Amino acid sequence: EAQVTQNPRYLITVTGKKLTVTCSQNMNHEYMSWYRQDPGLGLRQIYYSMNVEVTDKGDVPEGYKVSRKEKRNFPLILESPSPNQTSLYFCASSFYRGPGTEAFFGQGTRLTVV
Amino acid sequence: DQQVKQNSPSLSVQEGRISILNCDYTNSMFDYFLWYKKYPAEGPTFLISISSIKDKNEDGRFTVFLNKSAKHLSLHIVPSQPGDSAVYFCAASAGGGSQGNLIFGKGTKLSVKP
* Chain A interface test: which of B62, B101, B108 (most A C-beta within 10 Å): B101
Mean pLDDT within B59-82: 97
Q: How does the average pLDDT of chain B come out, rounded?
A: 92
Rounded to 5 degrees, φ, ψ at B17 are -90, 180
- Which of B1-15, B27-41, B98-112 comes out lowest in average pLDDT? B98-112
User: Are residues A72 and A24 in contact, defined by beta-carbon separation less than 8 angstroms?
Assistant: yes
Interface touch B106/A42, C-beta < 8 Å: yes
Burial label for A78, CB within 10 Å (0-12, 13-18, 19+), is buried
**What are A74-105's pLDDT values in tens digits?**
999 999 999 999 999 999 998 866 555 688 99
- Measured between CA atoms, the residue of chain B closest to residue A90 is B43
Name the nearest CA neighbour of A2 among A103, A74, A108, A109.
Answer: A103
Grade residue B97 by pLDDT with cuts at 50, 70 and 90: very low
User: Are residues B105 and B90 in contact, defined by beta-carbon separation less than 8 angstroms?
Assistant: yes
Burial label for A64, CB within 10 Å (0-12, 13-18, 19+), is buried
Q: Which among B43, B89, B97 has CB closest to A108?
A: B43
**What are A21-56's pLDDT values in tens digits?**
999 999 999 899 999 999 888 899 999 998 899 999
pLDDT at A97: 61
For residues B25 and B6, what is the distance between their CA atoms, to the nearest angstrom?
A: 9
The A-side interface with B (CB below 8 A) comprises 4, 31, 33, 35, 40-45, 48, 50, 58, 90, 92, 94-108
B102 pLDDT above the threshold of 90: no
For residues A105 and A107, what is the distance between their CA atoms, to the nearest angstrom?
A: 7
Grade residue B95 by pLDDT with cuts at 50, 70 and 90: low
